[in-house]
Chain A
């Protein structure tokens, strides 16, 4: 069965620190897609990135970067120079036939 594990339940950092959120997945599919979403305290779910299983190139978007490694079934998310506005719950997700399977989420708290 497909599964997404985010082992870090809560992370607390001080502003300007770098932080990495871990995501490990399980799937038997050879073609699959991985996602990261951000859920700020307001509750809405904000799409951050989609990555397909054939593209292992790392991606950088501003202070955000993603490291996809098929060999270890991981799709980790790094925030560089964190800011208070980054405080949120971050979800990693795996697609299965168009449906999303979410990890348990990592609550990131960035303190000033």
Chain B
């Protein structure tokens, strides 16, 4: 596996502001992912962040609202822009690690960032 950290672990923000969440991995990885987990719900993929190219967003998520940076193979940021109470969620990053011969990579997750928007 890998050691994945996220900052901040939690935050309370005002409506209309923006928050940048950082994700750091202790090894170089090709693919990083950002997920949102709304209260009491499952995880939904926001985007895939590959180093050296623009992030690929899933249906329902746009770059203006969730800009992503991937400056190197161990780091990524997700910004939640112009926040509203509906953005209150846990945001998790994950990385794709090779899990052994003949198998697909396995995603390992960071501890998450709990965001509350007032």
Contacts and interface: CB of A to CB of B under 8 A. Distances in A.
Nearest to B114: A43
Contacts, number: 55
Given A91-B43, A102-B43, A44 B103 contact: no
A98 B111 CA distance: 21
Interface in A61-112: 91, 95, 98-100, 102-105
A50 B104 CA distance: 9
Contact of A104 (B33, B42, B105, B106): B42
A82 B98 CA distance: 31
Nearest to B110: A44
Say which size band chain B's interface belongs to. 20 to 34
Interface of A: 33, 35, 37, 42-47, 50, 52, 91, 95, 98-100, 102-105
A11 to B, nearest CB: 16
A99 B44 CA distance: 10
A44 B45 CA distance: 16
B45 A33 contact: no
Interface of B: 1, 31, 33, 41-45, 48, 90, 92, 94, 96, 99, 102-112, 114
A91 B42 contact: yes
A68 B96 CA distance: 23
Contacts of B45: 99-100
Nearest to B90: A43
A105 B104 CA distance: 23
Nearest to A35: B106
Contacts of A46: 109
Contact of A44 (B33, B42, B104, B111): B111
12 contacts: A42-B111, A43-B90, A43-B111, A47-B108, A50-B99, A52-B103, A91-B42, A98-B48, A99-B45, A100-B33, A100-B43, A100-B45
